[in-house]
Amino acid sequence: MIVPMILSVICLLLLGLSGWLFAHGIRKTGHERVLDRLAHGQPQLAADKVKWVGLERMFLRAGLGRPTQHLGRWLLLWALAMLIGYWLGDWLGLLALLLAPPITLRLYIAWLYRRRVKRMIEQLPQLLDYTVRSLKSGRTLADAVMGGIDASEDPLKMAMGRVQRNVQLGVNLPDAVSDFAELYEQDELRMFALGLKVNHRYGGNASELLENLIKLIRERDQGARQLRAMTGETRMTAWVLGSLPMILVSYFMLTNPGYMLGMWSDSGGQVMLIAALVLQVIGCLALWRMLRSV
């Protein structure tokens, strides 16, 4: 009796929180419209630096915006999912739906981030090449980089809109690109920012520097592709080792389900299955870490 009451109180609290966030969002939108009308035609002030928290940083790097935009809705759905899990599977279902959504969200964000950054690095030489051609035609370095951003395609154009906004707010170009590189934590972007800083501080031939950077990025990409081809057998072995236990369990459940169910109905069998599951997860994580280091 106590557990349903606690879950009901949690659900009511989440409903109240979602209502408060919705009302706060409406008031904030109204205030922003008023401020936009008052600030129309006025010079833009420099925006305060955002103090990144881990979740907000992950969302921005994955291109999902800010996590607070629909926080109340997602918390409400999560609470309903936990209630359904408790209704269907008692405490085991509650625990599963308590842990599964955050883990799934974390893995999905990491996958989106890797795919987005990979595409951005592939597009970076095109932006640098456009910048070099603009410099040779007589444009300044800042104008050439801004023009290269405008001529780029998504996701690089959308991500580097952060650089354009910072430059429009008065931040110099090397610092804006350095802030962008630190957000995405990629060596190629850091080299780009470092090259702009060196040119801004000591001068020199910016077009030659950027051409060397294009060559370096393409050589790194070629080396990474060669390494991936050389380690294909190792990665395939890791996939087989990680998936083989799950394939065997699926085969047993299809051909002889009483074998696995009989183990689950026994206390000693439950301990063995849970231990096997934990060891399987640890082994998959170890293989994943080893593959990332290759």
Give Dmax over CA atoms of the chain in angstroms. Answer: 79
Residue 262 forms part of a structural domain: yes
pLDDT at 9 over 60: no
What residue type is 64 in one-letter code?
L
What percent of the chain is modeled with pLDDT above 90? 0
**188 and 126 in a common domain:** yes
Is the pLDDT higher at 51 or at 259? 259
Instruction: Tell me the mean pLDDT in the region 63-92.
Output: 73
**pTM exceeding the 0.75 threshold for the entire prediction:** no
**206 and 135 in a common domain:** yes
Q: Tell me what pLDDT residue 15 has.
A: 64
Residue 75 forms part of a structural domain: no
What phi and psi, each to the nearest 5 degrees, are found at residue 244?
Answer: -60, -45
Instruction: Tell me the mean pLDDT in the region 74-85.
Output: 78
Mean pLDDT of the chain, nearest integer? 77
pLDDT at 49 over 60: no
Instruction: Tell me the mean pLDDT in the region 73-101.
Output: 76
Instruction: Tell me the mean pLDDT in the region 250-277.
Output: 81
Instruction: Tell me the mean pLDDT in the region 8-22.
Output: 60
Residues 6 or more apart whose CB falls under 8 angstroms from that of 28 comprise none
Of 72-76, 123-127, 227-231, least confident by mean pLDDT is 72-76
**260 and 209 in a common domain:** no
**210 and 173 in a common domain:** yes
Q: Quote the CA–CA distance of 112 and 58 in Å, as a whole number.
A: 10
**236 and 195 in a common domain:** no
Residue 6 forms part of a structural domain: no
Helices 267-293 and 257-265 pack at an angle, to 10 degrees, of 110
What phi and psi, each to the nearest 5 degrees, are found at residue 199?
Answer: -65, -40
Nearest to 241 by CA among 182, 286, 271: 286
Residue 152 forms part of a structural domain: yes
Cα dihedral value 163, 169, 173, 176, nearest 10: -50
pLDDT digits (tens, 9 = 90+) for 94-149: 777 778 778 888 888 888 888 898 898 888 889 899 989 988 888 888 888 888 88
Domain, as residue range, for 283: 232-293
**Which phi-psi region, left, alpha or beta, contains residue 185 (left: φ > 0; alpha: ψ -120 to 50)?**
left
Among 167, 192, 216, identify where a domain stops.
216
pLDDT at 80 over 50: yes
Helices (H), the chain: 2-38, 54-61, 71-136, 141-151, 156-159, 161-168, 173-184, 187-202, 206-230, 232-255, 257-265, 267-293
Among 183, 216, 249, identify where a domain stops.
216
Residue 90 forms part of a structural domain: no
- Domain total in the chain: 2
Instruction: Tell me the mean pLDDT in the region 276-291.
Output: 82
**193 and 143 in a common domain:** yes
pLDDT digits (tens, 9 = 90+) for 152-165: 888 888 888 888 88
Split at pLDDT 50, 70, 90, the class of 291 is confident
Decide if 121 contacts 186 (C-beta within 8 A). yes
Q: Quote the CA–CA distance of 261 and 77 in Å, as a whole number.
A: 32
Q: Tell me what pLDDT residue 24 has.
A: 58
pLDDT at 204 over 50: yes
Q: Is the peptide bond before 155 cis (omega within 30 degrees of 0)?
A: yes
Residues 6 or more apart whose CB falls under 8 angstroms from that of 184 comprise 61, 117, 120, 159
**190 and 139 in a common domain:** yes
Among 167, 186, 216, identify where a domain stops.
216
**200 and 175 in a common domain:** yes
**288 and 207 in a common domain:** no
Residue 198 forms part of a structural domain: yes
